[in-house]
Structure 1
Amino acid sequence: MKVLIIEDEKPSARRLQRMLEKLGVTTQHMLHSVSEAIQWFNNNTHPDLILLDIQLSDGLSFEIFDAVEVKSAIIFTTAFDEYALQAFKLNSIDYLLKPIDDDELQAAVEKYKKVKPQANNVQLNFEDIKKLLSNPVEREYKKRFTTKIGQHIKMISVDEIECFYSENKGTYAHTVEGRDYLLDTTLEELEEELEPQTFFRISRKYFININAIKDIISYTNSRLQLKLNSYKDQEVIVARERVKDFKVWLE
């Protein structure tokens, strides 16, 4: 079974790919916009199954199917509230509400396998779904984290956090006050929870708050070194494969 991911947020697409790999499912390709998807479908063999984000950077993903006849089965991945999604159960394999849960993804894939012969001939009524989504709900991102200090629970606003980093299998938040707090989460989970205009994952180790960047310096092997306002424990390096996306994010 080959799966195509259409998702405009690249960290979310990569996380979904990793989740599928754990299920033994091969991702044929990842696409990030309506225009990119139309071009790809016109030049490639269509996959068995599409995991489709509804709202892409350049429009609703339904526009893809106005331009191309796609025979693949579809599982929607979306941040829209559940009340607006009832039509999807009649017109697709399933929908997954973000942030996507491992068990729900597995259940959706298993559902596809059971109804595969019929699934690839589903005729989606996109016009009805568009009407339901005429007033989209704005995506909610995490505004605070909690950490345990002795017998106390401390709340940390995301505005106070300069960066998140992993160390010794733990995930830490470094605050503007220069304090470090151990959190009950992972950097992979943070990819779904942090507001992408403010936070960017520069490497496997770091998530950076754009407001904490003090200086950016050219580094070896086409990488970049960041100087933050208060975090000075270790060198903060933008991985080479993330440099291009990092520069786009800065703008």
Structure 2
Amino acid sequence: MNAIIIEDEKPAARRLNRMLDKLEVPIIEVLHSVEDSIAWFLQNDHPDLIFLDIQLSDGLSFEIFENIKIKSAVIFTTAYDEYALLAFKLNSIDYLLKPIDDEELETAVHKYQDLLKDLNSKNEDLNLQLNFEDIKKLLVSPEERSYKKRFTVKVGQHLKMISLEDIECIYSENKGTYIYTSEGRNYLLETTLESLENDLPPDLFFRVNRKVFVQLGAIKDIIAYSNSRLKIITKCFKEFEIIVARERVKDFKNWLG
């Protein structure tokens, strides 16, 4: 097993490194920002495990998941508890609050090791490589998974509930994630598209490209587009053209039935 630490506070990174050294967890790299982390993942094999702070010097670490398909298991290490739900939507192994307790850290590492043993025992004859997708399957089975039924957004001093059927699409733009409703209104979400992958019912929503989920009932027309892609027309959305990425066209057609 090998691991990396992503932590912008160097004293905290050094302390965590020392704690993991006592647990015999080898750390192969320590990174301090979203930008550096993305660059590192693009150039290196992904580690087995990531110890990940959330608020980094140049943004939230969730941005890493928006740019890179992470193949590692994740243990979040942060001073902020308000991101716990979002972190677990990414199927993390654990969520540790600073200052990190030795016993809690040891428990989190053992949890990963137990999952690793379970997976290896199932796949020992197949010689499969462990990655984050395998960890996801162990953590949440399709039968146990529950999907969102609505979103709650803040409008001024009020909270507004939006049912999934009233959503035309969910999209990202300028580092924000937005709901666009059948009323023709945008609402900012405190989440990322990546974290919604396992949160939206797959029979109702489809991710047509890196920046857009489309709701089935909102589709008004589908038009052949350049380079074997498809253009989707919804009932109201006019912010930009919704194009099904070429590599997603086949899955999209299957999704339509």
Q: 2:252 aligns with which of 235, 246, 249?
A: 246
Counterpart for residue 113 of structure 2:
112
CA deviation after TM superposition for structure 1 residue 148, in Å: 1.3
Contact 1:224 1:239 in 2 (8 A): yes
Question: Structure 1: any 5+ residue segments left out of the alignment?
Answer: 3-17, 27-50, 52-74, 76-97, 124-135
Counterpart for residue 175 of structure 2:
169
Q: Which amino acid aligns with 1:146?
A: T
Counterpart for residue 218 of structure 1:
224
Distance in 1 (CA, whole Å) between partners of 2:162 and 2:173 is 19
CA deviation after TM superposition for structure 1 residue 109, in Å: 8.0
Distance in 2 (CA, whole Å) between partners of 1:235 and 1:121 is 47
Q: How does 1:1-251 map to 2 (within 5 A)?
A: 24-25=47-48, 99-104=89-94, 107=108, 111-112=112-113, 120=120, 139-251=145-257
Q: Which amino acid aligns with 2:201?
A: E
What is the alpha-carbon root mean square deviation over aligned residues?
Answer: 3.9
- The 1:115/1:247 distance shift into structure 2, 3 A limit, reads closer
Secondary structure at the counterpart of residue 170 of structure 2:
strand
- The 1:161/1:108 distance shift into structure 2, 3 A limit, reads farther
Distance in 1 (CA, whole Å) between partners of 2:234 and 2:227 is 21
Equivalent residue pairs, number: 153
TM-score relative to the length of structure 2: 0.50
Identity %: 52
Q: Which amino acid aligns with 2:113?
A: Y
CA deviation after TM superposition for structure 1 residue 111, in Å: 3.6
Deviations 1:49-95 (A, max 9, x none): xx9xxxxxxxxxxxxxxxxxxxxxxx9xxxxxxxxxxxxxxxxxxxx
TM-score relative to the length of structure 1: 0.52
CA deviation after TM superposition for structure 1 residue 114, in Å: 11
Distance in 2 (CA, whole Å) between partners of 1:201 and 1:173 is 14
- The 1:166/1:120 distance shift into structure 2, 3 A limit, reads closer
Which is further off, 226-235 or 139-148? 139-148
Secondary structure at the counterpart of residue 202 of structure 1:
strand
